[in-house]
Structure 1
Amino acid sequence: MSIQLTTAEQLARCRADFRMGVGVVLCDGASQWIVASAETLSAPRFDGLRALGDLEIAITNWRAVTLSTWANDGDIARIFVPNDQGLDWVRSMADPSDDLRRPMLGPFQHVYDGDAQAHRLALSICKSAHLLPAAVVVRVTGQEACGLHSVDLQTIKEADAVLGAQLAHISTARVPLKYSKDARVHVFRPQDGGEEHYAIEIGNPSRAEPVLSRLHSACFTGDLIGSLKCDCGPQLDAALKNIAEDGAGVLLYMNQEGRGIGLANKMRAYALQDQGFDTVEANHRLGFEDDERNFLLGAEILRLMGFDAVRLMTNNPAKVDSMNTAGIAVSERVPLKAGHNHLNADYLATKAAKSGHLL
């Protein structure tokens, strides 16, 4: 067995480097790029990159639309960083928090030369690291990148597939709950060292028939501190109660906070909502898709637990589609309506109108 890092492990290391503000080298034969997160890059490192050559910033299509420009490479935009602009300009390109008070004014100089695969991978790493999806990129030659972690682009056919690491079952213990004393918590860990996910199994559900299940994404604000901006906490409570009353089932608790963008970006989205944007619009202004979660991880957990069919408690058709696509048959969609209040009425209306939730 090789002791070398797998591609998924290399990308996990890149994710950690991005969060620390450290650059990473992406290689394609003789071509090399140093890429770094626009959010975490320090001023001295920014100046160091600028000394190596012309700087570019890569942003997503949604962020480009917000800046009244366009994605010149399909789903991303590559924009030249003007020589008279510094790190503050780069961060303003990445962060929409001050867009209304001090909008970024173009025209921006787009970059068309060369391939955009390094830029696209850098944005994928930003997203998986729960950072703003914006990356600083500089093409280098020779030994300028010596000492930084390197990833060979030729080993990466599809970044999204690599970033979705496989899960392993780590541990199980009995945890009596208020709705059922007969409950066990299972912990699953991605093989790339990413965030762990959990399964709460109540009773002794049969593996030979569809199991009553809920695919629940972590929500610090709703699940833990009782936020009234969403319906997550009441849905979690109602799902556990329904499973207990049914006699057996599984609740999957996935660490995919804020529709997969992380808690820091979720708070950024909340701040944008206070400026008058809805949930989807806020995500787009940040540069994210409507929903960045990977529901296939839930299907993998169910498969590892021995299930191949579910009665899925959800109002989200995308979860049903993901389960079926992953080979976990959804025999029934069980509606789960809880937590409606006057403070989240607009939020729920947006989920129904723009995300197709059946409310």
Structure 2
Amino acid sequence: MTECQDMTTMGHLASPTQDAVPSPDGTAMAGALALRAVHRAASDLRRGTPVLLRTPEGTLVVAAAEVVSARGLAEIVAAAHGPAVLLLAPVRAAAVLQRPVPHAAPSPMGTEAEVAALRLPPLLLSPAALRSLADPTAERLLPAEPERAAVPAGAAVAMRLAKLARLLPALVAAPAAEAAAGRLGLLSVAASDVLGHPAGMAASLARVAEARVPLEDAPDARIVAFRAADGGIEHLAILVGRPEDAQGEGRAPLARIHSECFTGDLLGSLRCDCGPQLRGAIRRMAADPAGGVLLYLAQEGRGIGLVNKLRAYTLQDAGLDTLDANRALGYGADERNFWVAGEMLRAVGIGRVRLLTNNPDKLAGLAACGIAVAGREAHQFEANGVNDEYLRTKAARFGHLLV
């Protein structure tokens, strides 16, 4: 997770979208239009509406298998000039076909080798059948069986778009006839804009609100809200004490990168250690002379979203561990990046920190984003009888520094 090194060379930041409107600051306008296009496309996917993905090799019409409606399927048929296929992560395709599906290891930019395509008989082109194929927690009562098919160009980017929408990475896709698709009024997005979206979103972060919010464990606390130009979910920086002043005095304040966890942070779920880590970090910052900053990032479930995290819990109850449950859904072990964290720290005037974490990926990721990490502060909490296996998996399979 050292993507920050390439922030200025990815996607639309290097190649402005062709749809950009000339302006005094053409690069900024191109970036804003690219973010807007991706956000709108992701929103349409969530509504069950197909979108067009433009690639150098041609255009795909795609729709999310878990939410596509009968009307959306009819629009795919009307826009397509070839048969539709179902795009799945290879591990999910193997479960559907009940046999191994060879594939290459994932690459940072995404390749078609990371995607499997299944040919869909007419009986499977229905919303209910597609939901069963996409979701490993759904009841699988299918009237026919799919078969392997060739993976179309742009499939890996389409899967990226589904993940940005926090949907299951399972898409109905077909080569699109531009004229027919245009008559349907479907939104169009460039593949380069999808690939560049995470970096562009981080680079466009802006402070939108700030207030003093005394906390139970930290009376001297402020919350700064950040929003990206795509208009998506806000990220928060919780400043305890005056960490920016400590920075100016040559001291490194405490910092924690904390991904939001509705179940653990708000409800006190025993399945994870997120709630104790959140409250424990704020207490430690309040007691530290240099203060601290807690970055509360909208990256629920290691970036898969709350709904998919609940699906992963269902799979864990059936015997899978955290990592394998995420993979069974078609996601990677960890879908987060730390571009946003680096930009937020710079925005509040902090460039050097002592990081509260057990996760070595956060140390490497933050350093790659240009933030000096003066040291790691262990941040471990005892197992509670429910999350014991979860913590063991963190250490054994995610490499967390737990003893």
TM value normalised by structure 1: 0.91
**Cα-to-partner distance string for 1:107-139 (whole Å, 9 max, x where unaligned):** 722215xx522x222211110111001111111
Name the counterpart of 1:291: 334
Compared with structure 1, are the counterparts of its residues 105 and 299 closer, same or farther at alpha carbon in structure 2 (3 Å cutoff)?
Answer: farther
CA distance in 1, matches of 2:113, 2:41: 24
1:105, distance to aligned residue in structure 2 (A)? 9.0
CA distance in 1, matches of 2:193, 2:265: 40
1:172, distance to aligned residue in structure 2 (A)? 1.0
Compared with structure 1, are the counterparts of its residues 213 and 142 closer, same or farther at alpha carbon in structure 2 (3 Å cutoff)?
Answer: closer
The counterpart of 1:198, out of the listed 232, 236, 239, is 236
- Residue 266 in 1 paired to residue 304 in 2? no
CA distance in 2, matches of 1:279, 1:103: 28
Consecutive unaligned residues in structure 1, runs of 5 or more: none
CA distance in 2, matches of 1:235, 1:255: 16
Name the counterpart of 1:63: 92
Name the counterpart of 2:48: 21
Name the counterpart of 2:247: 207
Contact 2:121-2:146 within 8 A present in 1 as well: no
The counterpart of 2:58, out of the listed 21, 31, 34, is 31
| 2:233 aligned partner, one-letter code | E
Identity of aligned residues (%): 41
- Residue 93 in 1 paired to residue 133 in 2? yes
1:331, distance to aligned residue in structure 2 (A)? 1.1
**Cα-to-partner distance string for 1:155-174 (whole Å, 9 max, x where unaligned):** 66656545656311111111
Name the counterpart of 2:371: 328
1:237 alignment partner, SS class: helix
2:328 alignment partner, SS class: helix
| 1:207 aligned partner, one-letter code | Q
CA distance in 2, matches of 1:199, 1:94: 36
Number of corresponding residues: 355
- Residue 172 in 1 paired to residue 234 in 2? no
CA distance in 2, matches of 1:133, 1:124: 8
Greater CA drift, 152-161 or 258-267: 152-161
Greater CA drift, 38-47 or 85-94: 85-94
Q: Hey, which of these two has a bigger chunk of helix by percent?
A: 2
| 2:122 aligned partner, one-letter code | N
Name the counterpart of 2:11: none
Consecutive unaligned residues in structure 2, runs of 5 or more: 1-22, 105-111
Compared with structure 1, are the counterparts of its residues 79 and 158 closer, same or farther at alpha carbon in structure 2 (3 Å cutoff)?
Answer: farther
CA distance in 2, matches of 1:322, 1:27: 31
Name the counterpart of 1:349: 392
1:114-193 matches, within 5 Å, as 115-117=152-154, 119-146=155-182, 147-153=185-191, 158=196, 161-162=199-200, 166-193=204-231
1:92 alignment partner, SS class: helix
- Residue 282 in 1 paired to residue 321 in 2? no
CA distance in 2, matches of 1:305, 1:204: 11
1:222-237 matches, within 5 Å, as 222-237=264-279
Compared with structure 1, are the counterparts of its residues 161 and 74 closer, same or farther at alpha carbon in structure 2 (3 Å cutoff)?
Answer: farther
What's the Cα RMSD here?
Answer: 2.4
